[in-house]
Amino acid sequence: MPLVVLISGRGSNLKAILDAISGGELPAVVSAVISNRADAAGLEYARQANIDTLALDADDYPDGQSYDRALQGLVDCFEPGLVILAGFMRILTPEFVQHFHHKLINIHPSLLPEFRGLNTHQRALEAGVEEHGASVHFVSEELDSGPTILQVRVPVLPDDTAEQLATRVLPEEHRLYVRAIRWLAEGRIRWHNEQLLFDGQPLQQPIDIDAENQKKSD
Ligand code: GRF
């Protein structure tokens, strides 16, 4: 399964994907990593793995439409089976999203549909929730929407700060994203027309990664 990964910054999810591939856990290949920032730290992980890296700066384009058209052309060159948003901090145009229909996935640090948008950890604390987590979802035209595939739950502890919560969620994100991509690459999760299937059955609600692990060990 050829992947194109889009990043904007740190790239820890990208690193988790690359590590899983080199460790033989993920039947995929990262064909290219594209960033909207030439100084994104995560590009270094791709360079170390001898993967093509490209930076496309929004300042070089008059508007979001033309930027996304250029980005789309670039991504298409690599003929990806999946386009992976891994901390890509831009809102994509509907045209871009439609072009990669059923191929564009994102990871978001909350239990969607809770806390779409930014500062999810702080907002989870302010809302007083007992459980927080992360979600992998297909991208639709609305921000942090589209069918959620897989989620991981993380307890919120008394006196947690947003930083502590973020630190607890991040490694779970890595495990979650690798698993979601693996199941998509293996065809365990797939689209049949507009229906998402998991092991051949309609996916009615997001899969809880740990509940699924538990089922396997029962
Ligand atoms: C992650 O928290 C991800 O859920 C969100 O952006 C952050 C990216 O982190 N969409 P990294 O660049 O993968 O370290």
| Cα torsion 38, 29, 3, 27: sign | negative
Q: How many domains does the chain have?
A: 1
The CA 42 to ligand 1 mean position distance, Å, reads 11
Active site residues: 108
CATH number where 31 lies:
3.40.50.170
Query: Residue 93's pLDDT is what?
Result: 97
- Mean of pLDDT over the chain: 97
CA-closest candidate to residue 120, choices 88, 149, 97, 144: 144
CB-defined site of ligand 1, < 6 Å:
7, 9-13, 42, 86-87, 107-109, 173
Q: Which domain holds residue 203?
A: 2-217
Query: Residue 213's pLDDT is what?
Result: 80
The CA 20 to ligand 1 mean position distance, Å, reads 17
**57-100: pLDDT as tens digits:** 999 999 999 999 999 999 999 999 999 999 999 999 999 999 99
